[in-house]
Amino acid sequence: MNYVANTQQDQAAMLHDIGAASVDALFSDVPERLRLKGLLKLPEPASEMEVMTKFRSLAGRNSSLSEYKNFMGAGSYEHFIPSAVQAVIGRSDFYTAYTPYQPEISQGTLMSIFEYQTMICNLTGMEVSNASHYDGATAFAESMIMSHNVNGRREFLVAESVNPRYMTVLKTYAAAADFIIKIIPADRHTGKLDAEFVKTNISDSTAAILVQNPSYLGVVENFSSFSEIAHKNGALFAVSANPISLGLLAPPSSYGADIVSGEGQPLGIPTSFGGPNLGFMASTQKQMRRMPGRIVGETVDKNGKKAYVLTLQAREQHIRREKASSNICSNQALCALASTVYLSYVGPYGLRDVAARCSDLAHYMAREIAKVRGFEVSFEGTAFFHEFVVKYPSSLTFDRIFDHFHEAKMLPGVSLSDFFPGEPNQMLVCATEVRTKQDIDAYVKRLGELKW
Amino acid sequence: MVNRTEKLIFEYSEEGRTSFSLPKADLPDSTAGQNFPAGMIRGAGELPKLPQVVETELIRHFTNLSRLNYSLDVGFYPLGSCTMKYNPKVNEAVSMLPGIADVHPLLPDRYCQGMLEIIYDMEKYLCEILGMKRVTMQPLAGAHGELTGIMMIKKYHESRGEKRTKVVVPDSSHGTNPATAAMCGFELVSIKSDANGCVDLDELRSVMNDQVAAFMLTNPNTLGLFDVNIEKIAKVVHDSGALLYYDGANLNAIMGIARPGDMGFDVTHVNLHKTFSTPHGGGGPGSGPVGVSERLVKFLPSPTVEYDDSSKRYSLKFDNIDSIGRVASFHGNFGIIARAYAYIISLGASGILKCSQNAVLNANYLMNHLKKHYNLKFDHTCMHEFVLSSDNLAKFGVTTLDVAKRLLELGYHAPTIYFPIIVHEAIMIEPTETECKERLDEFIATMIQIAKEAETSPDVLKNAPQNTPVSRLDETRAARMPVLRCCACDGCPAPSSQKEESSRETRKKTASAQK
Amino acid sequence: MSNYPEDLRYTEQHEWVRVEGKSAYVGVTDHAQHELGDIVYVELPSVNQMIEVSEKICVVESVKTVSDVYSPVSGKVITINIDLEDNPEIVNEDAYGEGWMVEIEMTNPEEVQSLMTAAEYKNFIEEAAS
C-alpha cells in the first residue's frame, strides 16, 4: 500500500526549488558510516487485500468472545456495547483529530471531555476528574504518586486483594520513586481486609491507604472505618472502583475516599486483548491542582460565548518540566469519548439495571456451582458484585478445566493459582449482563461433567 | 467544520428518557439488594446523575460535536514534533475484526496465538527499524515509554552497585523528558545547545560524570537538525558509564536511512501514534513501545513474548526475575499495536524508507520557500521538520500566536507554536510524507499571504479567527476560576458567561452543596 | 512601566521586601508580574513554616508559565495573604501593596542589608534589558 503522493515529477520539481541534487543529498548530515546500505529486513509491501487476509488468518487463531461464551473477568470485562458508541467514535472528526491545543477548532473534543469529566465525578461522587489516564493500573499508581505530592510521605498501605497486575504496576512505580509498600492482608475465609492491621501499621509516614472495591476477588466492603483511620493519621484514602458497579453501589465519596481511580473499559470499550483501556481518576476540589493529566475547563471567548479549553496546564510536563507531578502527555481521549457515549446511552437507570443484572446472574451462578460435588465458592456470606472465587478439587489442574470448557465453546474463568500462596486450586469466575440463565446452566452442567 | 453552537448533553436530558433496554430477566427474584453491607447500595434517589436521552438526540448531539472539530481527514496539520500523517482506513477495519477486537487478554497462550504473533512480529519489526536487540510493546504512550526506559536505566545502574542520581537533557528537549526523570527520582541537569542548535560537546563533557545515569536525546533534534556528532556524543556518554536514551518522536526522519541503535543509543522509545500512522483520537490512545540494547534486555517489563521455532508456538514468559515489573495491566494498547502492525506490513521495507525520504523532502521544500518570509535561525538542510520564528513580524505588533490564529481562520491547523523554547516566537512545521505537492504549495501561499498581512493589515491577524465556532478564549479565566464539570444536574444553573462574580458565587454554592 | 518604590529592598529573582519591625513582608515586583502575565494561581507556604534565605517559598502560575519565588530572608512564616487564593490577579494589580504574599518573622534581620536598593534594582533591570 502507498500513501505518498509525490511522483518522480513532483520530487524533481521540489528538489529544483530546494537546490538539491537528489533526495539522497538531503541526508548528507547523516555520517556515511551510519547510512543503511540496503533495505531493512521487513516484509515485502502488502496490498490491502493481503493485509485483510493476513488479519483474518490471525483472528482465526484466537478464541474470541463472538464464538465463545465468556466467564472471564479479572480486570477486562465483556459488556454489551450499544451500536451508537461505534457510530460516534468511528467519525473521523473525532478519531483523526489532534489533541485540542487549538481550542477554536477543537470544541467537539473539548466539550465531550468536559461531559466525560462531569460523568466521572457524578459516578464516583468526587468533585474533579481529569480527562483520562492510560488504564486502571496506571491510574492507581498515579493516585499513589498524587498522595505523596499532597503530604510528602513515602509509605503506602495497599490491600492484598487488589488486582495482582495493578499490584505489580504499583511496585514498579514505587521502586522508581523509592516508595515503600506494606500489604494489608485479606482474610482467607471472608475475603475482607484486616482493619486491625491498618490500625497497627499506619503511622505519620503513611501517605495513603489504597484499596480496590469490589476487590479483585469480587468482594464488596464498606470502607468507612479505613478512611477514618487514614484521615486521623493525616493520610489519604484512595479507592480503585469498578465503574459498572457504581451504577448500583454507593460511590467511594460516601465512605471517605480522597482519590478514586479505576478501569473504564467496561463502559463501552471492547476487551481488545487488554488495550486500549481507560484509566479514570477523580479527586476533591481541594486537591485539584495535584491531579495529573489533562483537564478541560469552561470559560468564555472574546465575544462572551461559552467555550471549553485545556486548563490548569501549569501542572503539566510541558510547562513544569521536572517539577510536574506526572510526565503524562497523551491520554486515552477516544476511549473516554466511548465511555461518555455509553454512559449517556444507558443513563442512570440503564447503568443500574446492567449492574443489577450482572450481580443477579453472578449470584445465581455462584449458588449453582456450590451445588456441584467437589466445588466450593469461597468467602461464603461475604458480599460480592459480579465475580467470585471457585475452589476446585486438587486433582484437577486449571489447564484441564479450561480445555474441558473450551471444547464446549466456553471460557470458564481466570486462574488464581498464583494468588493465594499454598492454595493453587482456585479460579475467578465472572458473569455479566451478556450472559443468560441458559448460559449459566450449561456452564454448571459442563462443570459437573469433569472427571476427577 | 461547522460554525454553530452546541449544548452540553446534560442540557438535553429529561427524567424518564432512554433508548436502552436489556433482555427480560430470566432469573427468579433478584436478591442482589440483600447481600451488600449497610450503606453500600444506592437508594432510589441516589443514582448517579447521568444524561437521560433517547438515541436520536444522543446521536445528533455527538454528531454536531464532531462537526465542531477540525481533523486530519479534513485537512493539513503541519504540527512539528507530532508527525500528523494520514491514518489509513484498512488499519481501522482490521483492528475491529471479530477475533481481533473481542479477545480477552488473559486467555491461555494456546488460545490467542494470533494476538501473540502480532505482538511478537511488531517487536521484531521495531527492532529492525531501530537497530535494537529487543522491544517491549507494553508502554501505553510515548511518555509512558520514556518512563519505562528510565526505570530500566535506573535498575541497570543499581544492579551494578552504582548509585547515579542525575539525568542530563538538552535545553531544547520535550517537557516529558525532564518530567519522566523526576518521576524516577533523578535530578535534572539541562545543557545549552551550541550555535547550530545541536549538542554542545564541551558542555556535555563538563557535566558527564559517574553521577549521571543517562543523557536523553532525540536525533534529529527538536529543531529538525541531524546532530552529526552523534557518535562522539555516544562515546562521551558511555565513557562516563552512563546510558544514552533516544526519544523517538522524530523517528519519521530516518527510517530506513539510519538506526538509533547503530548511533549508540541504549534505549529508544517509539510513538506508534506519530511515526506509525495510528490515529490521534483527540488526545489518545497512543502507544509507546521501547527498544533496548543487549545489556538492558533482562530489565524489560514482564511478561515477554517468546517464540519456539520447533513447536512454532508463541508463549508468554513471566519468570523474568530482573524485570522492572509491569507498567500496564496487560500487553499494551493492543488495538493501537494492531493498527501499526497493519501499517508496517502494508508498507514493507521499501514503503518505510519512502516515508522518511518524502517526509524530509517535503520539509525542505517548505523550509526553502518560507525562509524568505519568516526568520529561520538555523538555515541548514533540515530533516522532517524545521523551526521558523515570527520575530521579523514583531515590528508590526504581530506574534506567533496571531499567525497561528490566522491560519485557523484560513482553514489549517496551526503548526506547533512556542516550542522548542530555545527559539523565540517559534513556529515548528512538520508536513509529513502524506501531503501532496499541491497542498504544500497552498500552505506556502497562505503563509506568505499572512506575512504580508502582518505588514499591511496586522489587525486581520489580531482579530483572527472570526469564522470558527469560538475565538480567542479567555484562558486566564479558565485557570483562575476553574469550572471543570457541568453543574446543571445538581440543580444549579450552568455557570454563566457574564460576570466573573456570579460564576464564582455559583461555584461556591456548588462546593458547599456537595459537602 | 514598572515602578520601584524607594522604601523596599529587591532581589535578582525579582522579589521585594518591606521591613516592619521584626517582620519582613515579601512579594514579587512589578517587573515580575508584568513578565509573568495574567497570574492564575499563587501557592503559599504554611503558617509557622521555617524558611532559609534563598529557599523556595511560593510558586506563581500564569496560564503558560510557572515561577518559583525565593525567600530574601530567613525566619518563620507568620502570616500568608489568603486573599490571593481566590484573587491571584491582585498580584498583577498591586504587586507591592495588596499583592504581598508572606510575612516572615526574621531570624537574621541583617540579611536585608545585602539586598538591592530601588535604584540598584532599577539599574539591574535596565542592564538586563540591553
User: Model confidence over C20-49: pLDDT tens digits?
Assistant: 999 999 999 999 999 889 999 999 999 999
Q: How far is CA A429 from CA A149, A390, B185, B432, in A?
A: 37, 7, 40, 48
Chain A adjacent subunits, 3+ CB pairs under 8 A? B, C
Tell me the residue type at A436: T
Write the pLDDT tens digit of every residue in A182-237: 999 999 999 999 999 999 999 999 999 999 999 999 999 999 999 999 999 999 99
Confidence of residue A281 (pLDDT cuts 50, 70, 90): very high
Q: What's the predicted TM-score (pTM) here?
A: 0.94
Domain B91-345, CATH number (from 3.40.50.1820, 1.20.1440.230, 3.40.640.10, 3.20.20.70): 3.40.640.10
**Average pLDDT in the C59-66 region?**
87
> Alpha carbon A203 to chain centroid distance?
31
Question: Distance (Å) from the C-alpha of residue B455 to the closest C-alpha of chain A?
Answer: 24
State pLDDT tens for residues A94-125: 999 999 999 999 999 999 999 999 999 999 99
Residues in chain B, pLDDT under 50: 492-515
Give the pLDDT score at B173. 80
Q: Pairing relation of β-strands B187-191 and B166-170?
A: parallel
Helices of type H across C1-130: 30-36, 83-86, 89-93, 118-129
CA–CA distances in Å: residue A447 to residues A368, A408, B279, B437: 10, 11, 44, 65
DSSP state of A179: -
Cell of B254: 530516518
Residue A319: its chain C contacts at CB < 8 A? 64-66
Residue type, A273: F
Decide if B361 touches A, using CB distance below 8 A: yes
Q: Between vectors from CA A178 to CA A175 and to CA A179, what angle results, nearest 5°?
A: 90
B347 class by beta-carbon count within 10 Å (0-12 exposed, 13-18 middle, 19+ buried): buried
Subunits next to B (3 or more Cβ pairs <8 Å) are A, C
CATH domain C9-108 topology: OB fold (Dihydrolipoamide Acetyltransferase, E2P) (2.40.50)
At C34, the amino acid letter reads H
The domains of chain A are located at: 69-73+347-448, 83-342
Model confidence band, residue A350 (pLDDT cutoffs 50, 70, 90): very high
Chain B: residue whose CA lies nearest to A262: B329
Dump strand ranges (E) for chain C: 9-10, 15-20, 23-28, 39-43, 50-51, 56-62, 66-70, 75-80, 102-106
Q: Which three cell numbers stand for residue B387?
A: 523551526
Domain ranges for chain B, please list them: 1-21+47-69, 91-345
By the CB < 8 Å criterion, does C40 face chain B? Answer: yes
d(C-alpha B115, C-alpha B258), whole Å = 30
Q: Of A316 and C71, which is predicted with more confidence?
A: C71
Q: pLDDT tens digits for B264-293? A: 999 999 999 999 999 999 999 999 999 999
Looking at residue B489, its pLDDT comes to: 55
Per-residue pLDDT at C114? 92
Residue A13 has pLDDT above 60, yes or no: yes
**How does strand A426-430 pair with strand A414-415?**
antiparallel
Which among A93, A327, A357 has CB closest to B69? A93
Phi, psi for residue A106 in degrees, rounded to 5? -135, 25
Q: Around Cβ A418, how many Cβ atoms within 10 Å?
A: 9
Contact assignment for B332 to A275 by CB distance below 8 Å: yes
DSSP conformation class of A285: G
pLDDT of residue A433: 97
Q: According to the model, what pLDDT value does residue B503 have?
A: 35
**pLDDT value of position A161:** 97
pLDDT at B166: 96
Question: Quick one: cell of B87?
Answer: 491514518
Distance CA B378, CA B387 (A): 8
Work out the percent of chain A whose per-residue pLDDT is above 70. Answer: 100
Nearest to B147 among A60, A327, A356 (CB): A327
Question: Chain A within 8 Å of B174 (Cβ-Cβ)?
Answer: yes
- Tell the residue number behind the cell numbers 468482594, with chain if given: A219
Core vs surface per residue A171-203: b (16+ CB within 10 A) or e: bbbbbbbebebeebebeeeebbbbeeebeeebe
Phi, psi of A282 (to 5 degrees): -145, 155
Which of B85, B282, B414 is closest, CB to CB, to A102? B414
pLDDT of residue B32: 57
Q: B256 vs A70: CB contact, 8 Å cut-off?
A: no
CATH architecture under which domain A83-342 falls: 3-Layer(aba) Sandwich (3.40)
How high is the pLDDT of residue B29?
A: 62
Q: Does B475 touch chain C (CB under 8 A)?
A: yes
DSSP-assigned beta bridge partners for residue B170: B191
Angle between helices B400-409 and B437-456 (to 10 degrees): 120
Q: Which fold has domain A69-73+347-448?
A: Aspartate Aminotransferase, domain 1 (3.90.1150)
Chain B interface disruption, residue of C36, C42, C59, C63, most B CBs within 10 A: C63
Q: Which positions in chain A touch C58 (Cβ < 8 Å)?
A: none
